[in-house]
């Protein structure tokens, strides 16, 4: 009896089936298993233990940063009938923050985030409550200045979050770049949603609602953030040998860039409101400015997903150059067309250069700040931005009032060009 040939296995030959008059060949050969799709940079970032928890708390604490000034202006102007008084009170708080913030950050570096941030936040919240009481009870004007100045102890929650990432991702510059990009996008998101939420609360409920809600969110967020002790950088104690961040090589020029960049932000906000008012659409100014923040937020997330090329100091020059070029778009849209709709589109595109500029700036602050003084270094950068915002707001407002709103868009272009010249001069050194 002849030996039968071995039957083919499904992996060796396809299976044939007959259906009606047609012959169907079904291939059941095993295929190679697909490789799992690699996780994206942001998914890998938040896979680290504890990162989601401290980020959630920090976002809750950071949202009121975009609420307080708008809430204070609505509350004070509504009760006292003076926008000048409201603006002066908020400017005083800004100046006080510029003085107190570096000192608070130095204490954070020495004693730890939880030990300093919680009591500092409580003091700031009490200042907000005092402002509400003074406005509600009709207290003298000087009490408004004193109460709002007390809010200057508010800790730089964005800087503390960046310090945690720097501690967790030490030795991994690519992941740290992604983390810094996410933090900048979070800043843009909070400053985009904060004013909208403040205006909604103050207009829907009562004028003090925005300030009260901001204080509750700030305290809640800081308590949640401070409770995540596993990701907190260890306190450094006194580090006299490290020296002040102000004297670190490259830092003075970098802070000057922050000052000029802040002037871009401050001037753009005031001039856009003036332009919208001149067009009879003042209520739409907030939505137009939100488009600029949205463009910056999206660009920050995309910038964090790509691999940065070259040293950060070289990237900063290119980022500032792009910001200078794109800032001409709102000027052209306002001067040549006078259309608020085209201006909104121009601001959306122009905002795409601000986040990469700030991400690279904060990366250089982390590189150049002496060890043990990181929170102080980043607080100085934020102080430079706040000072620039105040200067840009003043110059932009003066130009819009004495020349025209369209001409006012030349102020952020000029400020961006100054930042570029400073960056070029520092790079040559």
Q: Contact 262/388 with Cβ under 8 angstroms?
A: yes
Q: How many CB atoms lie within 10 A of CB 313?
A: 18
pLDDT of residue 326: 95
Distance CA 143, CA 127 (A): 11
307 assigned to some structural domain: yes
Tell me the average pLDDT of the chain: 83
Shared domain check, 362 and 330? yes
Q: How far apart are CA 56 and CA 249, in angstroms?
A: 35
In a shared domain, residues 365 and 262: yes
CB 288 within 8 A of CB 344: yes
Give the torsion sign (CA, 170, 41, 63, 292): positive
CA distance linking residue 369 with residue 373, whole number of Å: 6
User: Closest Cα to residue 378, out of 177, 173, 155, 80?
Assistant: 155
pLDDT higher than 50, residue 25: no
Domain assignment of residue 2, yes or no: no
* pLDDT value for 242: 58
Domain boundary among 188, 207, 233: 233
Token digits of residue 244: 């002040």
User: CA angle, corner 308, sides to 307 and 310, nearest 5?
Assistant: 135
What whole-number distance in Å separates Cα of residue 343 and Cα of residue 340? 5
Report the chain's terminal Cα–Cα distance, integer Å: 94
User: What are the tens digits of pLDDT across the range 129-153?
Assistant: 999 999 999 999 999 999 999 999 9
Does the pLDDT of residue 20 top 50, yes or no?
no
Domain that holds residue 167: 51-233
Identify whether residues 101 and 198 lie together within a single domain: yes
Count of C-beta atoms within a 10 Å radius of residue 35: 6
pLDDT tens-digit readout, 281-326:
766 777 787 888 888 888 888 888 887 777 888 889 999 999 999 9
* SS3 call for 20: coil
- Per the listing, tokens 């999206």 go with 298
Token pair 């778009």 in the structure block, residue: 329
Same domain, 343 and 207: no
Total structural domains within the chain = 2
By the 8 A CB rule, do 378 and 163 touch?
A: yes
Mean pLDDT of the 264-288 span:
80
pLDDT band at 37 (very low <50, low <70, confident <90, very high): low
Q: Which of 170, 198, 233 is the last residue of a domain?
A: 233
Is 33 part of a structural domain of the chain?
Answer: no
Same domain? 328 vs 194: no
Q: Is the pTM of this model over 0.85?
A: no
Residue 424, pLDDT > 70, answer: yes
> Residue 22's beta-bridge partner residues?
19
Do 181 and 291 lie in one domain? The reply is no
Residue 39 lies in a domain: no
Closest CA to 213 of 75, 55, 35, 417: 75
Identify the three-state secondary structure at position 83: helix
| Close Cβ partners of 172 (under 8 Å, ≥ 6 residues apart) | none
Strand-pair partners of 312: none
Close Cβ partners of 351 (under 8 Å, ≥ 6 residues apart): 291, 292, 293, 294, 295, 296, 299
CATH of the domain at 97: 1.20.1250
Please report the pLDDT score of residue 274 as a whole number.
83
Domain membership flag for residue 88: yes
Note whether 155 and 65 are within 8 A (CB): no
């Amino acid at each position: 009896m002849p030996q039968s040939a071995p039957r083919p296995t499904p992996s060796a030959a396809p299976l044939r089936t007959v259906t009606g008059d047609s012959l169907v060949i079904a291939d059941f050969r095993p295929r190679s298993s697909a490789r799992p799709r690699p996780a994206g940079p942001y998914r890998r970032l938040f896979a680290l233990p504890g990162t989601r928890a401290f980020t959630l708390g920090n976002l809750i604490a950071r949202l009121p940063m975009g609420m307080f000034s708008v809430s204070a202006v609505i509350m004070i102007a509504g009760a006292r009938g003076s926008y000048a008084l409201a603006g002066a009170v908020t400017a005083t708080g800004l100046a006080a923050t510029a003085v107190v913030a570096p000192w608070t950050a130095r204490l954070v570096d020495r004693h730890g985030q939880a030990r300093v941030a919680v009591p500092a936040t409580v003091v700031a919240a009490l200042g907000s409550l005092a402002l509400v009481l003074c406005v509600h009870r009709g207290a003298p004007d000087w009490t408004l200045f004193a109460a709002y100045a007390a809010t200057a102890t508010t800790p730089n929650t964005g800087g503390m979050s960046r310090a945690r990432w720097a501690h967790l991702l030490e030795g991994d510059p690519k992941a740290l770049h992604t983390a810094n990009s996410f933090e900048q996008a979070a800043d843009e998101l909070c400053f985009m949603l904060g004013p909208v939420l403040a205006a909604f609360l103050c207009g829907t409920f009562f004028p003090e609602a925005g300030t009260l809600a901001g204080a509750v969110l700030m305290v809640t967020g800081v308590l949640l953030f401070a409770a995540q002790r596993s990701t907190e950088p260890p306190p450094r104690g006194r580090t006299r040998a490290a020296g002040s961040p102000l004297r670190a090589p490259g830092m003075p020029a970098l802070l000057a860039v922050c000052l000029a960049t802040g002037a871009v932000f401050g001037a753009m906000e005031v001039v856009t409101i003036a332009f919208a008012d001149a067009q009879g659409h003042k209520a739409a100014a907030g939505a137009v400015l939100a488009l600029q923040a949205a463009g910056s937020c999206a660009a920050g997330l995309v910038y964090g997903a790509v691999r940065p090329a070259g040293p950060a100091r070289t990237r900063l020059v290119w980022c500032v150059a792009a910001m200078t070029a794109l800032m001409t778009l709102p000027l052209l849209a306002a001067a040549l067309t006078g259309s608020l709709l085209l201006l909104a589109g121009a601001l959306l595109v122009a905002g795409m250069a601000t986040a990469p500029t700030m991400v690279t700036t904060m990366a250089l602050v982390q590189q150049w700040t002496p060890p043990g003084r990181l929170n102080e270094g980043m607080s100085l950068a934020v102080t430079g931005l706040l000072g620039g915002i105040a200067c840009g707001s003043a110059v932009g407002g003066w130009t819009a009032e004495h020349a025209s709103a369209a001409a006012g868009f030349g102020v952020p272009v000029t400020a961006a060009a100054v930042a570029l010249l400073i960056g070029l001069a520092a790079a040559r050194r």
